[in-house]
Structure 1
Amino acid sequence: MKENNQLKRIEKQMDKEIMIIPLLLIIGLCITFMKFPEASKVTLQSVRNFLGDDLGLYYVFLGVAAVICSMYMAFSKYGKIRLGGEEKPKYTTFQWGTMIFTSTMAADILFYSLCEWAIYAREAYVKELGGMQKWAPTFSLFHWGPIAWSFYIVLAVAFGFMIHVRGRKKQKFSEACRPILGDRVDGILGKMIDLLAVLALLAGTATTFSLATPLLAAALGYAFGLPMGFGLTISILVTIAIVYTLTVWFGMEGVFRLATVCAYLFFFLLAYVLLAGGECRYILETGFSSTGNLIQNFVGLATWMDPARETAFVQNWSVFYWAYWMAWCVATPFFIGMISKGRTIKNTVLGAYGWGLGGTFLSFIILGNYGMSQQVRGKIDAVTMLGKGEEISKVILNILKTLPAAKLVLVVLVITMIAFYATTFDALTMVVSSYSYRYLKPEEEPDKRVRTFWAILFILFPIALIFSESSMNNLQSVAVIAAFPVGIIVILIVASFFKDARKYLQEEQERKNTKHSNLSQ
């Protein structure tokens, strides 16, 4: 009886359209991708070419604007606003920082850290600038650097303010637009915003799963002699889904504990590669040089559009990455905003940059520069392998085989990637489950059954993409297309934040004036 009453209560709270429409669309896309793989690729590529080539400035401009906006949030009058009144932070700085990094990056950071330098080494633009040694690691840091994190941070501040300062009970994209759109967010416009947000998130997560899972399969196949194929890849996806589905049943406590384990595994892997790989000097010197090169050239890299299309490097890579981060903006900033209760906006902005950039830069500097050192020493030829059409997962495997105790390293890599996946999707599932509720108090967690529904839905689209043998270019197209409408919503949310925060500061000033006036009387 109690169980039935609880189910009826949950059913009344559910925003059924936000659950049913994405489910039907994802099932439809899965069938389309699996039944018509070639036609799907052609369509994706056509739309991506239009958005990335003709409208690429839109994505690049948003990236530059997000960095500037985040700095203004931190160092203007808004930076002193505390997210949650006078309350102290719920998590220590270390706990908060590890959750920000491990719950937002997913396993693709390990995938890209190991191979991105080799992909860039083949680009004509990199060769024109000065070659692989100087520019391949610089572009890795650039594409995973301040602009990437600025998308998360500006929205994390907006959502944190909405939830912890204004105490809004709708934890949705549409609710964050209320200061500008008003009551229209309660109608069809708000519903469209939330549906676009959820669909963009599903597309972004599908891209992540589909890119990195073949590396897991290759690593397990080599370490344990397992036969490669779709069966192994799908088994890995299902295992990851089971892990993070079980973890979400423990709520935020489960997310925190898994994030801690993930952080320790990640730093152990980095330390082993740095100290046992025999390339410590090369790794550190290249990392130091590429960081300096990035700082020196950041403004030029952030604004270069290649108007004559001499190489199309910007359209193929920078536009993709900014779109990729925007697609993930749907849930990741909500999570950062939720766990930042008790911190000032300035602390949230600078702390998120510090922990985010610290983790990503360490990964790319150590793992990426180790792989490049093997190329420079002539122990592998990853660049030629990629040029011949070799799968990226096999190229990464060849890099890792050069390490001492390679099979042990691969096992640690697999466990770390699964932990990254599970931690990230725990956080995403927690957030997107909140979208399923018409109203949800800031301190209230979504029901476990709702979180399980989304945990299963997250895994369907990646399976379809893997079965259709989508290339990296096709997977990038999914992210570029999904992010386009999200960018417009991001502008609305940030503008709404400034409008609402300005009103809040005026209200606070009036309260202080009234209190001072009463005391003086």
Structure 2
Amino acid sequence: MKTNLIDWPTFIGALFLLIGVTLPLILFPEAGKEFVSQANTFMTGNFGVLYLIMGLVILAFLLYVAFSKNGSIKLGDEGEEPEFNTFSWAAMLFAAGIGSSILYWGVIEWAYYYQGPPFGLEAGTNEAIQWSTAYGIFHWGPIAWAIYALPALPIAYFYYVRKKPVLKVSEAVRPVLGKSVDGPLGNVIDVLFMFGLLGGAGTTLALGTPMIAEGINTLTGIPVTLGLKAAIMLLCTLIFAVSAYSGLKRGIKVLSDINIWLAIFILAFVFVFGPTKFISETTFNGLGILADNFFKMATWMEPFGNFADFEDTGFPQSWTIFYWAWWLVYAPFVGLFVARISRGRTIRQMILGTITYGTIGCILFFGIMGNFGLYMQMTGSFDVVGFMNENGAPATIIEIINQLPLAKFMVLVFTVLAIIFLATTFDSSSYILASVTQKNIEGEPLRWNRLFWAFALCLMPLALMFLGGLGTLQTASIVGGFPLIFIMFLLAWSFMKASNTDIRASDDYRPSTIHIERWKNRKKKKKRSALEALEEKDLDGK
């Protein structure tokens, strides 16, 4: 077992921080929950506008980079083909960035907006229904995927262009912070990222596990208990541990491909055998509402909510700010993973591909799965809202799927898809956590390191699940992830500083392909040619 490659301060620091947060939540669950809740309320209430500004600035910045000369930089050697074909690449980044959460919120999120609509609208009205078809797409759309894509820029640049064999957030901010990232500051940056990911992983488990348990209950009649949820969690852990152990090409890629084909099948089935006309028109209409009100939705903060004539709904804090904070917690992980799988592509392809494929995938889930549930509600064939308020969201999601033709079969496919979606997120997570805790990556992270983080991702949430503290861990990770707003700024600055320095160093920039080694080699050849010409001139003169 190799241990000299491990960055022990980061490894131990992340582990101790996770234990230091979860132990008080286990020993004092009520007090811990109250403290974390107050901290979250304080943060979103007082600094929520920072998250909204961050989302818009990141999207604008990435679009600028994509269409600038920096976007033409190739991640790899000149003439090198992409490591993965476009289908597998898109499947891996989508599965890693979304996980089983898309199956949860894609089906049911509209019902929350239906009951608690934005802009002070009355619940259940025509306006509330209209907005419920657009807000889910907005929250899972271009801004979300832009937040995911930003960390990939400097990480991929240093890994594939400057040939630094390190996949760390701290290494990506070296152009700005210099040698200070080699000390405690660098460890703190990496540990904060890992803590956010571990807490965010707990959220995904908290959403996915009960939904899978309800699916198994519908298929087999086995009651939904903590024991069943624990068994599901352990099964998912076993799947993603094997996948992570097998590596990127033999494990994660194969699982992601299976996952995306199952997702395509269930989306196509619901679209064809469900209310096709309603789904098509409602999705298109929702996209129109989003396009017409994008900046209104991205900047709405309810500043007048504390005044007598204005109602404070808490919608921005509960939804938009929460989502931007959640994407932020996951961003370094997804960015690291996207960077790792993007060899052979240009910066432009990586940015536009991540935002485009990610957004399209989410539009399909919210448009097809969500609007199928809305159709059930509006036709009266199934009271989704009433059932959810009485039985909870996980049972409601499975019951919506149960309204389809071949109900049992579709519930089976949906449940299997949820398990694989959960596994694909976690095998990617364990792969990246292992990468961050190593001093350098030669090919892939050490297998024992990948396995360790695969089980670490499960054990803490498993313990907290029995105490009902998974939601608290999620909130704690979002509170702890607040400094990532400033780290995102450093990542953007680092990329621009490093890439612009290298571009200025070249005197023969070509927009089609840029590679630093090519520039250096050409400059050397030009210098040699100039010297040879001078020598020949001297000889002729003599």
For the aligned pair, the TM-score class normalised by the smaller chain equals over 0.9
CA distance in structure 2 between the aligned counterparts of 1:430 and 1:135, rounded to whole angstroms: 38
Query: Which position in structure 2 is the counterpart of 1:489?
Result: 487
* Offset of residue 124 of structure 1: 4.3
Query: Which position in structure 2 is the counterpart of 1:63?
Result: 55
CA distance in structure 1 between the aligned counterparts of 2:299 and 2:281, rounded to whole angstroms: 27
For the residue of structure 2 that corresponds to 1:329, the secondary structure is helix
Say whether residues 1:207 and 2:209 are aligned partners: no
Say whether residues 1:272 and 2:269 are aligned partners: yes
- Is the 1:144–1:360 Cα contact (8 Å) retained in structure 2? yes
Query: Which position in structure 1 is the counterpart of 2:364?
Result: 362
- Is the 1:149–1:356 Cα contact (8 Å) retained in structure 2? yes
Say whether residues 1:120 and 2:119 are aligned partners: no
- Is the 1:241–1:455 Cα contact (8 Å) retained in structure 2? yes
CA distance in structure 2 between the aligned counterparts of 1:503 and 1:268, rounded to whole angstroms: 47
Counterpart mapping for 1:170-209 below 5 A: 170-209=166-205
Query: Which position in structure 2 is the counterpart of 1:428?
Result: 429
Say whether residues 1:263 and 2:260 are aligned partners: yes
| Aligned partner of 2:19 among 16, 21, 27 | 27
* Offset of residue 494 of structure 1: 1.1
Q: Return 364-373 or 343-352, whichever deviates more.
A: 343-352
1:482-520 deviations in whole A, cap 9, x for unaligned? Answer: 320112111111111100010111123374566556557
Query: Which position in structure 1 is the counterpart of 2:460?
Result: 461
CA distance in structure 1 between the aligned counterparts of 2:24 and 2:228, rounded to whole angstroms: 23
Counterpart mapping for 1:375-414 below 5 A: 375-386=377-388, 388=389, 390-414=391-415
CA distance in structure 1 between the aligned counterparts of 2:474 and 2:294, rounded to whole angstroms: 24
Say whether residues 1:252 and 2:245 are aligned partners: no
Q: What is the Cα-based RMSD across aligned positions, in Å? A: 1.9
CA distance in structure 2 between the aligned counterparts of 1:464 and 1:30, rounded to whole angstroms: 9
* Offset of residue 348 of structure 1: 1.2
Query: Which position in structure 2 is the counterpart of 1:236?
Result: 232
Query: Which position in structure 2 is the counterpart of 1:105?
Result: 98
Structure 2 letter corresponding to 1:505: I
Going from structure 1 to structure 2, the CA distance change for 1:124 and 1:339 (only over 3 Å counts) comes to closer
* Offset of residue 470 of structure 1: 4.4
Query: Which position in structure 2 is the counterpart of 1:4?
Result: none
CA distance in structure 2 between the aligned counterparts of 1:38 and 1:192, rounded to whole angstroms: 29
Counterpart mapping for 1:242-321 below 5 A: 242-253=238-249, 254-277=251-274, 279-309=275-305, 310-321=312-323
Structure 1 letter corresponding to 2:262: L
CA distance in structure 2 between the aligned counterparts of 1:21 and 1:475, rounded to whole angstroms: 18
CA distance in structure 2 between the aligned counterparts of 1:308 and 1:153, rounded to whole angstroms: 34
* Offset of residue 280 of structure 1: 1.0
For the residue of structure 1 that corresponds to 2:121, the secondary structure is helix
Going from structure 1 to structure 2, the CA distance change for 1:471 and 1:171 (only over 3 Å counts) comes to closer
* Offset of residue 20 of structure 1: 2.2
1:346-368 deviations in whole A, cap 9, x for unaligned? Answer: 11111122211111111111100
Q: Return 176-185 or 476-485, whichever deviates more.
A: 476-485
1:57-97 deviations in whole A, cap 9, x for unaligned? Answer: 11111111110011011011111111113122111122211
1:438-495 deviations in whole A, cap 9, x for unaligned? Answer: 2224xx21111110100011012322342232486x4652343132011211111111
CA distance in structure 1 between the aligned counterparts of 2:139 and 2:206, rounded to whole angstroms: 20
Query: Which position in structure 2 is the counterpart of 1:84?
Result: 76
For the residue of structure 2 that corresponds to 1:269, the secondary structure is helix
For the residue of structure 2 that corresponds to 1:508, the secondary structure is coil
User: What TM-score do you get using the length of structure 1 for normalisation?
Assistant: 0.93
Query: Which position in structure 2 is the counterpart of 1:345?
Result: 347
CA distance in structure 2 between the aligned counterparts of 1:28 and 1:191, rounded to whole angstroms: 17
CA distance in structure 2 between the aligned counterparts of 1:192 and 1:169, rounded to whole angstroms: 20
Query: Which position in structure 1 is the counterpart of 2:499?
Result: 501
Structure 1 letter corresponding to 2:320: S
Structure 1 letter corresponding to 2:461: P
Which structure is larger by alpha-carbon Rg, 1 or 2? 2
- Is the 1:327–1:483 Cα contact (8 Å) retained in structure 2? yes
CA distance in structure 1 between the aligned counterparts of 2:285 and 2:464, rounded to whole angstroms: 38
* Offset of residue 151 of structure 1: 0.9
Structure 1 letter corresponding to 2:109: E
- Is the 2:267–2:369 Cα contact (8 Å) retained in structure 1? yes
Going from structure 1 to structure 2, the CA distance change for 1:428 and 1:167 (only over 3 Å counts) comes to same
Structure 1 letter corresponding to 2:61: C
Q: Unaligned regions of 5+ residues in structure 2, if any?
A: 306-311, 509-518, 534-542
CA distance in structure 1 between the aligned counterparts of 2:477 and 2:130, rounded to whole angstroms: 28
Moved over 6 A (4+): none
CA distance in structure 2 between the aligned counterparts of 1:89 and 1:147, rounded to whole angstroms: 26
1:32-58 deviations in whole A, cap 9, x for unaligned? Answer: 323322212211110000111111011
Going from structure 1 to structure 2, the CA distance change for 1:433 and 1:476 (only over 3 Å counts) comes to closer
Structure 1 letter corresponding to 2:292: Q
For the residue of structure 2 that corresponds to 1:445, the secondary structure is coil
Count of aligned positions? 508
| Aligned partner of 2:475 among 471, 474, 477 | 477
Structure 2 letter corresponding to 1:151: I
Structure 2 letter corresponding to 1:262: N
- State the identity as a percent: 33
For the residue of structure 2 that corresponds to 1:330, the secondary structure is helix
CA distance in structure 1 between the aligned counterparts of 2:481 and 2:367, rounded to whole angstroms: 28
Query: Which position in structure 1 is the counterpart of 2:375?
Result: 373
Q: Unaligned regions of 5+ residues in structure 1, if any?
A: 1-6
CA distance in structure 2 between the aligned counterparts of 1:324 and 1:346, rounded to whole angstroms: 25
CA distance in structure 2 between the aligned counterparts of 1:143 and 1:312, rounded to whole angstroms: 16
